[in-house]
Structure 1
Amino acid sequence: MTKRGDEPTGKLTLAQVLEILAGGRLPLRFTAYDGSSAGPTDARLGIELKSPRGTTYLATGRGDLGLARAYISGDLEVHGVHPGDPYELLKALAGELVFTMPPPRVMADIIRSIGVSHLRPIAPPPQEAPPRWRRAASGLRHSKGRDADAIHHHYDVSNTFYEWVLGPTMTYTCACYPSADAPLDDAQENKYRLVFEKLRLKPGDRLLDVGCGWGGMVRYAARRGVTAIGVTLSEQQTEWANRAISDEGLADFAQVRFGDYRDIREAGFDAVSSIGLLEHIGVRNYPAYFEFLQSRLSTGGLLLNHCITRPDNQSKAAARGFIDRYVFPDGELTGSGRIIAEAQDVGLEVLHEENLRQHYGMTLRDWCANLVEHWDEAVAEVGLPTAKVWGLYMAGSRLAFESDGIQLHQVLAVKPDEFGGVGNLPLRPWWTP
């Protein structure tokens, strides 16, 4: 039984351990394999710890990593939510569950009750990427080889799986909703329309799309008479995109190349779009990134950079825990101010920027809905653990966007001439919202 202060508590059940760490405030029902339980008996949401291995994962994983390992391995089950969209559970945990360190004597009893054997790390689920120090075997962070490995981990899951989640547009970046009740596909088409108009593209122009994914922007531009080249480090994306280009009869206008954007040799593009690539670049590489993209533009050419950001410019850039090990290895985020500053420092003139944070929350909501709708097919395609990774990742990211933990910024810039001229650009933004 739990006692007050720093008095010894004796042998504790797993439920009692959780109650102590949570200060007695559990927003859901917890049950464990030792027969103990805690939290409201009528709670709609719950978690069930099913095995000793799950206890080891929880006890040895820092931050959200232990919870993710136990959940992905099947040692922790969730109740009251679908595994393809555990948003409501995550929202409840984020809003009401706060862990505090108990007094030393109580902590000692917790350790004795759990058992020292559970404090020794064990092998994580196979879906987990190695820690950063072990990734060095494939090169320095954000070298071409290591970036290729990181992209392969995230994007070469299965084109069929992504079709279930993303829908017909095969667009894995933030949509732009023309109205709150707009369907996802309409919102993605509207995002491409927005980028196209911001870049002032017209028939006969040349577009370079770096980090092009499955070629959505490339095909959108090609349908409107723009010659477009896309580049991606994902072989599966390259195959899917070029097949779609061929099926649509766009081969005279569009192509997607498998490779690193830094290997593009052509220059003189009227516009460059970078939609969801900067997150993979590494903050220390921003100067080289913007300098390279500027070098691909003709004078007066426009660059649009669309990426996830932090809400400030002071937080550490590197992702940690679950996101780094299961979703975006080596991913880095910074604030929009840092991005604008780096673009300006290579001579680009920033014309406009806007935050689409709320739109990304809605996009993730709709992706999760797609995953739930096609759950059985998705599990059959990639396996239950990987499907759970995606449900957890997308639901958690939705919550982060909604709570302003992360944002999504579009930055539009121009390459001026040596006298500061920017061609015949209108005096004010020329696109529709």
Structure 2
Amino acid sequence: MTTFKDRSEVFAELGTKLSIAEIFETLLEGPPPIRLTAYDGSATGPEDSQYVLDIKTPRGINYVATAPGDLGMARAYISGDMTATGVHPGDPYEFLKAMGELKFRRPSALALVTIARSLGWERLKPVPPPPQETLPRWRRIALEGLRHSKARDAEAIHHHYDVSNGFYEHVLGPSMTYTCAVYGDEKWTLEQAQENKYRLVFEKLRLEEGDRLLDIGCGWGGMVRYAAKRGVKVIGATLSAEQAQWAQQKIAEEGLTELAEVRHSDYRDIPEGQFDAVSSIGLTEHIGVQNYPSYFGFMKGKLRDGGLFLNHCITRPDNLRTTKAGDFIDRYVFPDGELVGSGRIISEIQNLGLEVLHEENLREHYALTLHEWGKNLVENWDACLEEVDEGTAKVWGLYMAGCRLGFQHNVVQLHQVLGVKLSADSSWTVPLRPWWTA
């Protein structure tokens, strides 16, 4: 009996052309879990599916056929050449969940001939991707320098964060915090949980009035302002010009200019030292694994003896996987992003002579955070489209919904690692037991 896997090869031998739905089937491992329709009138997948993918144009199938997988699907969806019914574009979580069993495969050479004959060779020539997509890694090297050079890191941050402060205000809420919140209860609001996250970091670092804190990768300055309101002198650094401008304005509005400053700067260019504490909340993902020794070495060099540091970042659930992000994340969300397991991070910290005091996994907390951001995007969809184009808003909906599933299914985790810079005699300078409120 002919299956989806070998039908295209049989048709190739017979010289038969495939419909768009049959081409889609050729690219899949097994039958599609949801309904798919196409501009040529063909369809496949369960007729009673709650969700329907509709390939509306030849360019849509070109995107899918030339890049089978998440990248091709994202291109078709973001460009509007493929639509998804039954779900809001601001939060396609349920749709992606239903597509969980959708797996692409690389078609055989014979299958490719059949696809090309069916569509016409001209229709399979590469076409420009949506404008939201950044260059592939190899092109970035030529134009922006080696991965994680200062120039290339600045461009990567600009691509992701310099979208629109107004857009982020609608999605992130009043805290303007683009990192995992810490929930005491699932019923907490996003703002409660984000305030609690800053409280937790503040307490873990044992900060007191008059202390000095360096917050690298500070975003819109949430940690900077939280600490300054409690009498701590803080310097924050971000590579995003829009973030720095927003943060400095907020610092002035809240009367914190004597204690707080956010600089538009690479963290490596901060000259001050002898800080009581260093925090890094959501920066490690952008650093590059090969740069971990210099990254954690930078923290060590900025701390006084006995000073504490906290590293908060997304991780892999093990220490065996490739560090590079998938094609969609790399091209549309976090160019050059890299993830490893918490074990690798802790090892790099220890290899520099820093002492690890505590670590914890906040995986489910990030799923809850992403759920709230998705709700915000849906509720403020029209306002968001006044700040960015629809394709960009779709990217964010896809990204947040996909990441929410990733955290729920333990594809990714979120770890906080707390450590100390030991003095020459390695004396214990902190309480014997955890001193913060969980």
Query: TM over 0.5, yes or no?
Result: yes
CA separation of 1:60 and 1:19: change in aligned 2, threshold 3 A: closer
Residue aligning to 2:435: 430
* Contact 1:300–1:415 (Cα < 8 Å) also in 2: yes
Q: Find the partner of 2:123 among 118, 123, 129.
A: 118
Counterparts of 1:116 and 1:22 in 2: how far apart (Å)?
Answer: 21
Query: Corresponding residue for 1:167?
Result: 173
Q: 1:92 — aligned with what?
A: 98
Question: Is 1:215 aligned to 2:217, yes or no?
Answer: no
Question: Which segment is superposed worse, 258-267 or 13-22?
Answer: 13-22
Q: Is residue 16 of structure 2 the alignment partner of residue 8 of structure 1?
A: no
SS in structure 2 of the partner of residue 8 of structure 1:
helix
Cα-Cα RMSD? 1.7
Q: Give per-residue Cα distances to partners, 1:257-282, cap 9 Å, x unaligned.
A: 11000011111111000000011110
2:19 is the alignment partner of 1:19: no
Identify the residue that residue 35 of structure 2 maps to in structure 1. 29
Alignment-mate amino acid for residue 398 of structure 1: R
* Equivalent position of 2:418 in the other structure: 412
After superposition, residues 303-342 of structure 1 pair within 5 angstroms as: 303-342=309-348
Query: What does the per-residue CA deviation read over 1:272-309, in whole Å, with 9 as the maximum and x for residues that have no partner?
Result: 00000011110000000111111100110000000011
The equivalent residue for 1:387 is 393
2 CA distance for matches of 1:387 and 1:120? 28
Shift in Å at residue 60 of structure 1? 1.2
Question: Deviations for 1:378-430, whole angstroms, at most 9, x for unmatched residues?
Answer: 0121010110010011111111111111111000000001111132x111111
Q: Which residue of 2 aligns with 1:145?
A: 151
Letter in 1 for 2:238: T
Distance 1:133 1:110 in 2: 28
Helix, strand or coil: the match of 1:382? coil
- The one-character-per-residue Cα deviations of 1:214-242 (angstroms, maximum 9, x if unpaired) are 00000000111111110000110001001
My pick for the range that moved more, 367-376 or 106-115, is 106-115
CA distance in 2, matches of 1:349, 1:24: 50
1:129 maps to which residue? Answer: 134
Alignment of 1:208-247 (within 5 A): 208-247=214-253
Superposition deviation, residue 116 in structure 1 = 2.7
The 1:115–1:422 alpha-carbon spacing in structure 2 relative to 1, beyond 3 Å, is farther
2:161 corresponds to 1:155: yes
How many residues matched? 431
Q: Does 1:39 align with 2:45?
A: yes
The separation in 2 between residues aligned to 1:385 and 1:102, in whole angstroms, is: 29
Name the structure 2 match of 1:289: 295
TM-score by length of 1: 0.96
Paired position in structure 2 for 1:374: 380
Contact 2:91 2:398 (8 Å CA) reproduced: yes
CA distance in 2, matches of 1:103, 1:261: 48
Q: Secondary structure at the match of 2:312?
A: strand
The structural deviation recorded for 1:102 is: 6.7
Deviation, 1:20, is 4.3
Does the CA-based 8 Å contact 1:22-1:99 persist in structure 2?
A: yes
Secondary structure (helix, strand or coil) at the match of 2:428 reads coil
Matched residues in 1 for 2:367 and 2:420: separation? 29
Q: Aligned equivalents of 1:133 and 1:19: distance in 2?
A: 31
Contact 1:414-1:422 within 8 A present in 2 as well: no
1:362 pairs with 2:364: no
The 1:341/1:103 distance shift into structure 2, 3 A limit, reads: closer
2: CA distance between counterparts of 1:227 and 1:305?
19
Q: Distance in 1 between matches of 2:135 and 2:108?
A: 34
Q: Give the % identical residues.
A: 63
Q: Is the 8 A contact 1:62 1:321 kept in 2?
A: no
More displaced stretch, 62-71 vs 260-269: 62-71
Cα drift, residue 19 of structure 1:
3.3
Query: Is contact 1:27-1:39 (8 Å) kept?
Result: yes
